Structure 1
Amino acid sequence: MIQAMLLSILVVAICTTIHYFVLKGVSDTIARRSVEAHGQNLGLAVGAITIAHVIEAFIYTLFFLWAVQGLQIGALTASDPADKPITLMDYYYFSLVNFTTLGRGDLNPVGHLRFITGIEAFHGFLMITASGSFVLQVMGGNAPLSKKE
């Protein structure tokens, strides 16, 4: 359990740092642009945030693989025993489903992987909520994390 907790702390720290720097970079870019660039600013914000979320979910995928194959503290199993062996894409799909808190039941965590899965759902919800708030501020013509130059 301690290993799962330490992995969770590490992956949350890494993904939160990435998320902050993506939002800060977008905000700084918006602050340097002219006031008339609302559409471009919104496109930049949504595009960068989407890419950040996809990367963050992939980082969780790597941590799931590390937990299962390296540390052997859990497993990811298919609900249907007739399914093929779990692939990297299955781990990534599982991570995306958890990050977005969709929570489908076709893949199931076993052992201490359940703890990391719960943390990912909480953290993903937090990052998506922060992103939504950021986008709303950009839609209002603000550069949320920057001072206007």
Structure 2
Amino acid sequence: MEEVVTATLVSLVMVLTTVTLHYVTLAGLSDLLAKLRHVRGQILLVMMVVFLVHMVEVTLYGLVYWAMDRSDVAMAIGGNVSGDFLDHLYFSLACYTSLGLGDLFPIGALRLIAGVEALNGLIMITWSASFAFLVMQRRWHF
């Protein structure tokens, strides 16, 4: 039961962290775009910044998985895992993008965090796509 509470709290903190990070990034990017004149450069900037913020969010989840895997909590990643951070980052990327390859899998209450990350990633990716669409719609005229 303790690990479920831990996983729930970690999930909540991660959602709050990633949503706040995403909001601050897109708000700052929106302010920056208002100052730039080159339309295609703006769109390129949007795509690069959005990609980077997603990678930061994936990395944050990867750090959580790595820390949980190393702690005494009965949560881990199973499969062909060497235990290094790259495995945890890869697992996070598979969860965040809802790719779910299955070669690595969560054990114990870590399944809750992985499921929340998939939902969180879907929402963040959709938010980014909507933002990019609006930027292109307002700025890219043929």
Shared fold (TM-score, shorter chain, > 0.5): yes
* Shift of residue 64, structure 1, vs aligned partner: 1.2
2:70 is the alignment partner of 1:69: yes
Give the SS at the match of 2:138: coil
Q: 1:17 aligns with which of 12, 16, 20?
A: 20
1:50/1:84 Cα in 2 relative to 1: closer, same or farther (>3 Å)?
A: closer
Superposed CA RMSD in Å reads 1.3
Match of 1:29 in 2: 32
Count of residue pairs the alignment pairs up:
136
5+ residue gaps, structure 2: none
Q: 1:6 aligns with which of 6, 9, 15?
A: 9
5+ residue gaps, structure 1: 143-149
Give the SS at the match of 1:137: helix
* Shift of residue 71, structure 1, vs aligned partner: 4.9
2:61 is the alignment partner of 1:87: no
Higher helix proportion: 2
Q: Percent identity?
A: 34
Give the SS at the match of 1:141: helix
Higher relative contact order (CA 8 A, sep 6+): 1
Give the SS at the match of 1:85: coil
Write the letter of the residue equivalent to 2:55: V
Give the SS at the match of 1:89: helix
Give the SS at the match of 2:9: helix
Q: TM-score, normalised by structure 2?
A: 0.90
Q: TM-score, normalised by structure 1?
A: 0.86
